[in-house]
Amino acid sequence: LIQYWCDLAVVGDPAHGNVAEGVLLTEDGGVLTSVAVGTAPAFDAVHLRGITIPGLVNAHSHAFHRALRGRTEGISGDFWSWRQQMYAVVDRLEPDTYYALARAVYAEMALAGITTVGEFHYLHHAPHGAHYDDANAMGNALVAAAADSGIRITLLDTCYLRGGFGRPLAATQLRFGDGSVEAWAERAESRTMGRHARAGAAIHSVRAVDRRGIEAVAEWAGRRQMPLHVHLSEQPAENAECIGAHGCTPTRLLAEAGVLTSRTTVVHATHLEAPDIASIGRSGALTCLCPTTERDLGDGVGPGLALAQAGSELCVGSDSHAVVDLFEEARGIELDQRLITRRRGHHAPSALLAAATSGGSRALGWPDAGAIAPGRLADLATVSLDTPRLAGTASPFAVAAVVFAATSADVTDVIVGGRRIVGGGHHCFIDDVGGDLRAALDPTAGDPR
């Protein structure tokens, strides 16, 4: 039994933006058992200065894309030329190097206040598509990396069967494929998780899986009541090719194949038609926006407001990890809309905070996290209000200040299931996260094979 005394905390549903002063949290067995507001400082409680929010949830990650940071931003091109650079990184990853990279990336996430990651995992096999002795070696490396960095993971095991509409997998992509949806399911089925890990499924995109495969994955995930994620309409070319192949938009194809349910999250959803937006909203599916990646790749700005108004709960992901900062993702939802509409105030600050916390929790199958409330998992992030960025922001506006001005560097304390993994801005059991990233990203390091 541990108690935390918070100067300020966002209590209850984060979408309500209810900031309370002097909040005493009691945790037992990883779960919050009481949330008492307006208490005097408790002598033996752990003092969390600043504002404590539910742990941030990164609903869309490809851990290995972190290797591209700084190396691709200055190069001209588009999504498709960036993808070629991304494939070059894939070519040098094996289970041990994948583990080391992912552990360092997840430690960077922990420092940024992220308590749960959704890893959209498709790098399943050895070069040329050969299988490792354990066919789940790469996914298991991610599950272990999350455990060893202290955060929770939902492993979204991704079905990826072809290189595009009517095109087989080629070259690097051979590592992504299981050959058939049945073989994908058999491999995904045989995985073992841990207390910190939950299983989910993903369809890479309508490009990478044929209609029968899409239906089969949806049926498989549905039988297991698992989260199901899918990249959707990130690029206009995907829409054009889908219309050419199926006579309908990717969203309509997914709807007809039974993919869109309240357990589903569509990722990006950048280039949608009005009927697509209505269909996603009606289904209760969530939308995961990744504004920093969508900016970085020149994807465009998706209809986040229209999707939210249609009934799709929003969440966010750092996706390619051009930056790992969920405050930047959350405010990006609003600020990008402002650039398009030349108006302010589309999404309330509390709605943006909810996208980065409770929305992501639901998207990743952790509905028991995502809020500071009795019975919820004790996943917390504390943001200092004394940093140069946040000093002087008054407490009635604390949620707006955090959402619009905080960065990852302002996170001081992170608690996952009652276990402190970050204290005073430092990782509690990984001494040098920067050094680990540098080592994992040095292509000349490690034993050459």
Separation CA 145–CA 107 (nearest Å): 9
Is 204 noted as a catalytic residue in this protein? no
Of residues 319 and 410, the one with the C-beta less far from Zn ion = 319
Which H or E run contains 289? strand 286-289
Is 134 noted as a catalytic residue in this protein? no
Measured from the CB of residue 251, what is the shortest distance to Zn ion in angstroms?
17
Measured from the CB of residue 49, what is the shortest distance to Zn ion in angstroms?
36
Measured from the CB of residue 267, what is the shortest distance to Zn ion in angstroms?
6
Of residues 56 and 383, the one with the C-beta less far from Zn ion = 56
Q: Which residue is nearest to Zn ion (CB)?
A: 319
Phi and psi, residue 356, nearest 5°: -85, 0
Measured from the CB of residue 288, what is the shortest distance to Zn ion in angstroms?
9
Q: Taking phi first (over 0 means left), then psi (-120 to 50 degrees means alpha), and beta for anything else, what does residue 36 get?
A: beta
Separation CA 438–CA 445 (nearest Å): 10
Tell me the CA end-to-end span of the chain in Å, nearest whole number: 48
Of residues 4 and 122, the one with the C-beta less far from Zn ion = 122
* Short-list 327, 332, 324, 260, CA closest to 272: 260
Draw the binding track, 48-87, toward Zn ion (x: CB under 5 A; -: no contact).
----------------------------------------
Of residues 158 and 408, the one with the C-beta less far from Zn ion = 158
Q: How many residues bind Zn ion (CB under 5 A)?
A: 1
Q: Point out the catalytic residue in the list 60, 229, 268, 427.
A: 268
- Contact call for residues 55 and 357 (beta carbons, < 8 A): yes
Q: How many CB atoms are located within 10 Å of the residue 363 CB?
A: 35
CA distances from 416 to 55, 125, 185, 413 (A): 8, 31, 31, 10
Measured from the CB of residue 399, what is the shortest distance to Zn ion in angstroms?
28
Of residues 118 and 417, the one with the C-beta less far from Zn ion = 118
CA distances from 35 to 8, 27, 361, 434 (A): 12, 9, 20, 35
Of residues 355 and 422, the one with the C-beta less far from Zn ion = 355
Of residues 234 and 313, the one with the C-beta less far from Zn ion = 234
Strand, helix or coil at 220?
Answer: helix
Separation CA 292–CA 424 (nearest Å): 27
* Short-list 126, 192, 196, CA closest to 157: 192
Measured from the CB of residue 111, what is the shortest distance to Zn ion in angstroms?
22
Of residues 319 and 325, the one with the C-beta less far from Zn ion = 319
Draw the binding track, 297-336, toward Zn ion (x: CB under 5 A; -: no contact).
----------------------x-----------------
Measured from the CB of residue 116, what is the shortest distance to Zn ion in angstroms?
17
* Short-list 20, 19, 24, CA closest to 41: 24
Q: Point out the catalytic residue in the list 157, 276, 296, 319.
A: 319
- Contact call for residues 138 and 123 (beta carbons, < 8 A): yes
Separation CA 229–CA 212 (nearest Å): 17
Measured from the CB of residue 51, what is the shortest distance to Zn ion in angstroms?
30
Separation CA 242–CA 80 (nearest Å): 17
Q: How many CB atoms are located within 10 Å of the residue 369 CB?
A: 24
* Short-list 108, 113, 71, CA closest to 89: 71
Q: Give me the DSSP letters along 39-56.
A: PPPPTTSEEEEEEEEEPE
Interacting residues toward Zn ion by CB under 5 A: 319
What is the set of active-site residues? 268, 319
